[in-house]
């Protein structure tokens, strides 16, 4: 069971005798514990005899008392589950359980003695009860300590991972307690850091609190730290980023205890160490998550039939999860990729079961007839249109597919919403539609124009929501960076100065749902996403968070802008002057751009025919004519294009 490799790499059993004995004891553990407890009970009954003598008590009566007390003691312990507990993981609750069982056994014995009229000296019996309770608890604690000593001896033969903990609060106390009994990663906590001056110089579970966050670099070198774990579940984003920035200057791996662990009850802490996760790039964005009041959202979705196109994708599936929590009359998920649709269907049914009226439609938004059939079969109230091709370089090389899926798909869905008089239609757009330099961005801008044109004449409320890059979504660059680091590099960045706006998937979906709740028709809603982030900084931080040094351990290569890619993304076509505020903080509306609707729809019809005939040159020409702000990047600027490089 417990083995290590010696210096000659031969596998040896360092505690074979212990393992054999432990195996036998474990096989008959209940019987062994019952015999031990019986012995303790018998011994306890003899203590008053040794102290006070037999006095006037007859030997037969004494033996009867011994028998009754021992039997009652053992049966009470068994009834209270004392022989099921794993005492190597025992805590104060187990000790209280032991004390409770002892007290019940004593009361039961006194009750039986009173009924059978067996004489009992209450002073002597109190002594017996105290000794037996103390004995059973002592045996179990001694066993636990012996196991700990043996396993520490084993652990000392295995290389340890030196750990620094940041934070000296309740979460750290829980973590240290579990590490005492459950330490699968063989962590050796060397020191604790905390910014509370009162705590510095003191200790937790014999681990010294050696300084504040300004001492992280110094202490990581002094104690030869391998891993730093941030154990402050309630920390705000600004301080989290500050601490992680300091930690990233060390050569230590970084891990973090997520926020939800602060809510884990004390008696459910057996898997506490499993909650510790690697630091994620979201932790470094340096802003608080955007949290919007969802009561209004629940109000307009409640008891409505809602259609989500592209419902199996990263944004679409999160839309479905949040919509499902608002008690819709029916949720229809439409996606052409059955695996994605199956995954979100399984998630929702596992969570809501029969409480959610869920329908899955495997279909493409390109198929107008299938869409019409879906609308005929259901009285759809609200549509969230998330289906789209999003990969910039791939759409540059396949413009006809971008038109078919993005433009024709949106046009088909918009026409059905208008024809069947849906209440609301919300288009999921992108910041790449602003002054686009790519085919993908230009097609999404045309989708916005379709929405605004229909909004002027339709009974349906048509609006769009525009946001930046979504961390964790299909196409995010972060998983690519992580994979490249895992493979030893190099990490590839398109340009040293490239920047992007970032948000999380839940934030993006909150924005969509909240904007939809206040939409009146024709708006393009935009989120204030804070400052843009340099992709180079993200890559460097990810390398450091992996305990590696950029350029030394992991090389960083600049491969050039890809087809259609911009250095800087924008959220507004005409800049800040073109936006108006809403009653919701962080959400703005871009003032609509005027365009000739007749000419627009004529170009649109030509574009649809060109896409169906796969006429790429005609498609690009028509896009340039339809989207005046589209500026194609000159040929040759996108050096080093690699189809495997995921879009940022």
Question: Are the C-beta atoms of 163 and 190 separated by less than 8 Å?
Answer: yes
Residue 232 has pLDDT above 70, yes or no: yes
Whether pLDDT at 644 is above 90: no
207 and 326 fall within a common domain = no
pLDDT in tens, 467-518: 776 665 555 677 778 788 888 888 888 777 777 666 777 777 887 888 888 8
3-state helix, strand, coil in the chain (%, to 5): 50, 15, 35
Task: Please say if 631 is a catalytic residue.
Answer: no
Q: Model pTM?
A: 0.59
Binned at pLDDT 50, 70 and 90, residue 376 comes out as very high
- The answer to whether residue 364 sits within a structural domain is yes
| Cα→Cα distances 349→127, 239, 342, Å | 59, 39, 10
549 located within any domain: no
CA gap 279, 578 in Å, rounded: 38
Helices 59-79, 122-156: inter-axial angle, 10-degree rounding: 50
Using only C-alpha atoms, the chain has a radius of gyration, in whole angstroms, of 34
Who has greater pLDDT, 606 or 267? 606
pLDDT of residue 411: 96
| Cα–Cα distance for residue pair 446/433, rounded to 1 Å | 8
Whether residue 312 sits in one domain with residue 452: yes
What is the domain-level CATH number for residue 171?
A: 3.40.50.720
Q: What residues contact 258, with CB distance under 8 A and at least 6 apart?
A: 233, 275, 277
Domain ranges, residue 239:
161-279
Instruction: Evaluate whether residue 545 is within a structural domain.
Output: no
Looking at residue 265, its pLDDT comes to 39
pLDDT exceeds 70 at position 642: no
Residues in a beta bridge with 188: 162
Structure-block tokens of residue 248: 């990233």
Question: Of the listed 404, 424, 432, 514, which one is catalytic?
Answer: 432
Q: Is residue 411 part of a domain?
A: yes
d(CA 399, CA 617) in angstroms, rounded, equals 9
**pLDDT digits over 34-56, tens only?**
788 788 777 777 777 666 655 55
Mean pLDDT across the chain: 78
**DSSP assignment string, 374-388:** HHHHS---EEEE---
Q: So what's the pLDDT on residue 74?
A: 82
89 and 144 belong to one structural domain: yes
Q: Which two tokens stand for residue 295?
A: 């009561």
Mean pLDDT of 624-641: 67
Distance CA 391, CA 374 (A): 28
Other C-beta atoms closer than 10 Å to the C-beta of 629 total 15
**Residue 186 gets which letter from DSSP?**
-
C-alpha triplet 415, 570, 443: angle, nearest 5°:
30
Residue 285 placed within a domain: no
Confidence of residue 641 (pLDDT cuts 50, 70, 90): very low
**pLDDT band for position 204 (50/70/90)?**
confident
Give the Cβ contact number of residue 148 at 10 Å.
13
Number of domains in the chain: 3
The answer to whether 420 and 380 have CB atoms below 8 angstroms apart is yes
Q: Which of 154, 186, 209 is the last residue of a domain?
A: 154
Q: Please report the pLDDT score of residue 592 as a whole number.
A: 73
Give the model confidence (pLDDT) of 268-283 as tens digits.
Answer: 434 555 556 565 656 5
Q: What is the pLDDT of residues 505-557, one digit of tens each?
A: 777 788 788 888 888 888 888 876 666 677 777 788 777 777 677 888 888 88
Task: Give φ, ψ of 519 to 5 degrees.
Answer: -65, 135
Question: Do 242 and 387 lie in a common domain?
Answer: no
Q: How far is CA 640 from the centre of its chain?
A: 35
Bridge partners (DSSP) listed for residue 580:
589
């Amino acid at each position: 069971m417990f083995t290590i490799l010696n210096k000659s790499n031969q596998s040896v059993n360092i505690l074979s005798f212990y393992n054999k004995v432990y195996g036998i004891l474990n096989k008959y553990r209940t019987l062994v514990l019952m015999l031990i407890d019986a012995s303790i009970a018998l011994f306890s009954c003899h203590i008053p005899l040794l102290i006070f003598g037999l006095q006037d008590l007859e030997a037969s009566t004494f033996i009867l008392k011994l028998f009754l007390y021992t039997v009652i003691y053992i049966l009470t312990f068994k009834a209270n589950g004392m022989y099921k507990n794993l005492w190597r993981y025992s805590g104060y609750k187990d000790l209280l359980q032991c004390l409770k069982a002892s007290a019940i056994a004593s009361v039961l014995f006194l009750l039986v003695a009173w009924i059978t009229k067996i004489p009992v000296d209450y002073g002597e019996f109190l002594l017996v009860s105290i000794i037996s309770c103390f004995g059973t608890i002592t045996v179990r604690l001694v066993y636990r300590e012996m196991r700990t000593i043996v396993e520490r001896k084993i652990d000392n033969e295995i290389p340890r991972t030196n750990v620094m903990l940041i934070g000296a609060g309740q979460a750290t106390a829980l973590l240290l307690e579990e590490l005492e009994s459950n330490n699968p990663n063989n962590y050796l906590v060397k020191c604790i850091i905390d910014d509370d001056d009162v705590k510095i110089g003191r200790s937790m579970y014999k681990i010294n609190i050696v300084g504040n966050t300004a001492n992280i670099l110094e202490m990581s070198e002094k104690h030869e730290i391998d891993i730093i774990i941030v154990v402050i579940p309630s920390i705000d984003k600004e301080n989290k980023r500050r601490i992680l920035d300091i930690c990233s200057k060390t050569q230590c791996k970084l891990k973090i205890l997520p926020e939800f662990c602060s809510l884990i009850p004390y008696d459910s802490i057996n898997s506490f160490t499993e909650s510790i996760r690697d630091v994620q790039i979201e932790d470094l964005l340096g802003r608080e998550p955007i949290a919007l009041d969802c009561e209004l959202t629940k109000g307009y979705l409640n008891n409505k039939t809602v259609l989500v196109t592209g419902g199996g994708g990263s944004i679409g599936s999160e839309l479905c999860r949040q919509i499902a929590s608002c008690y819709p009359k029916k949720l229809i998920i439409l996606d052409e990729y059955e695996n994605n649709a199956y995954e979100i269907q399984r998630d929702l049914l596992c969570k809501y079961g029969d409480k959610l009226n869920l329908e899955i439609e495997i279909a493409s938004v390109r198929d107008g007839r299938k869409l019409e059939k879906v609308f005929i079969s259901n009285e759809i109230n609200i549509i969230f249109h998330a289906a789209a091709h999003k990969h910039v370089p791939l759409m540059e090389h396949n413009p006809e597919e971008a038109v078919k899926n993005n433009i024709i798909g949106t046009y088909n869905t918009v026409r059905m919403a208008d024809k069947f008089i849906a209440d609301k239609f919300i288009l999921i757009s992108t910041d790449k539609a602003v002054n686009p330099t790519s085919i993908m961005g230009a097609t999404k801008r045309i989708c916005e124009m379709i929405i605004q044109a229909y909004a002027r004449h339709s009974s349906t409320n048509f609006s769009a929501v525009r946001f930046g890059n979504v961390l964790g979504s299909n196409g995010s660059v972060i998983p690519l960076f992580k994979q490249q680091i895992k493979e030893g590099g190099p990490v590839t960045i398109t340009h040293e100065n490239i920047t992007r706006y970032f948000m999380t998937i839940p934030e993006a979906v909150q924005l969509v749902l909240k904007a939809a709740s206040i939409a009146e028709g024709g708006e393009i809603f935009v989120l204030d996403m804070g400052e843009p982030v340099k992709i180079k900084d993200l890559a460097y931080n990810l390398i450091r968070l992996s305990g590696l040094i950029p350029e030394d351990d992991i090389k960083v290569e600049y491969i050039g802008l890809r087809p259609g890619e911009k250095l800087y993304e924008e959220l507004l076509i005409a800049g800040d002057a073109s936006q108006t505020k809403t009653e919701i903080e962080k959400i703005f509306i871009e003032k609509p751009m005027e365009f000739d609707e007749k000419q627009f729809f004529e170009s649109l019809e030509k574009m649809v025919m060109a896409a169906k005939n796969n006429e790429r040159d005609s498609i690009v020409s028509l896009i340039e004519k339809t989207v005046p702000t589209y500026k194609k990047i000159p040929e040759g600027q996108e050096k080093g294009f690699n189809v495997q490089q995921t879009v940022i």
